[in-house]
Amino acid sequence: MIRIENLKKQFGDSVILEHVDLEIKKGESVVIIGGSGCGKSTLLRCINRLIEPTEGSIYYGDMNILDNDIDINAYRQKVGMVYQHFNLFSHLNILENMIITPMTVLNMPEAEAIEKAKILLKKVGMENSLYKMPSALSGGQKQRVSIARTLMMNPEVILFDEPTSALDPTMVDEVESVIRNLIEEGLTSIIVTHEMRFAKSIASRIVFLAEKGVYEMGTPEEIFDRPSKPLTRQFIYRSRLFNKVVSNKDFDLYDLQSEIQKFLSAYGLTNRQRKVIEYALEEIAYPVLIDDNGIDEIEVSVLGSETGVNHRLLMETKNNVNLLELKDIDELGMKILEKEAASITNVVNELGNNVTIIEF
């Protein structure tokens, strides 16, 4: 439905986006994620032509929306937008907010507009607020009205620009629920959000922006569970990652065990998982660092699983040494660890370092 080719956006000497290529198919829910300032909202505003791209093309079907003779109002009827700050008319009540645009732009009869408004407000759980003023509503309620108002124009695509970022945390779920229902009904959408759990649950495709363009793209499982590029991994894992470099000079086994268990307590930690942490550090990290193996330090990382299963404990060395092959590893202890863990593997990362990965 939407095709972006070689898009570039520059403000003065500052290039925000360049070489952006992206296609949105009918029925897709494409979620755009990335760090602050990476161009997420800029890309969305280019798609809706709220700002003009510096270079490139944006096609809606076969129509290049950047052509000079494009009917931008007709285009925006088909590609609606929901903003993070609601943009309701403060001097109009909710029903008036709902009907003013379709009556003005589409010449919809008032009675028809009112009937449709009531149906859509009921759809988002706001049917009892027809005559309230926006100032009387909570942030979550305002955003639900904003979504319903966008639906009044019968859009084929809706762009959501951080739809929950201005909300109190207690109101986020109600707005996400409305968006999720629309997606389940087949709405084509492009969503910019910083809510990673929401993104993973509703996206058919995730687009990660970095380095002024589309850095990595894939299914939610590929991006959140198996990101292939370093900046993606750094972004996805930043709030789920425990990381500590331990050396043979200051290694405190019990302190490290305690730190990791405390970190994972937010994700749920069973007694079996506690045993895996203890055995992994006792049977691998401790003897490797304490005995004379020529290994001065190990980088220990833990990636918490949001589902509470398959946490990952990673032990990385820079000595090109596979920890699982060292003679100091106790055979009996390793057998117990293998029984309790889901898997134990060793890989060589892009830096050439050996990484022992324990899933549990």
CATH 3.40.50.300-classified regions of the chain: 2-236
Instruction: List the structure tokens of 204.
Output: 């058919």
313, 237, 246, 327: which is closest to 275 by C-alpha?
313
Q: Report in angstroms the alpha-carbon separations of 345 from 223, 301, 305, 350, 360.
A: 21, 15, 18, 16, 12
pTM of the model: 0.71
**For the chain (length 360 residues), average pLDDT per consecutive 10?**
97 96 97 94 96 96 93 93 92 97 95 97 95 95 96 96 86 92 96 90 96 96 89 82 86 91 86 92 86 82 81 87 79 88 89 90
Q: Amino acid letter at 264?
A: L
CATH class of 240-359: alpha beta
Position 304 scores a pLDDT of 86
- Roughly what angle, to the nearest 10 degrees, separates helices 271-280 and 331-340? 150
CATH 3.30.565.10-classified regions of the chain: 240-359
Instruction: List the structure tokens of 306.
Output: 């949001």
Position 239 scores a pLDDT of 67
Position 155 scores a pLDDT of 96
Strand partners, 217: 207
**Contact indicator for 120, 152 with CB cutoff of 8 Å:** yes
- Roughly what angle, to the nearest 10 degrees, separates helices 169-184 and 139-151? 20
CATH class of 2-236: alpha beta
Collect all residues with Cβ–Cβ distance below 8 Å to 328 and sequence separation of at least 6. 287, 288, 291, 293
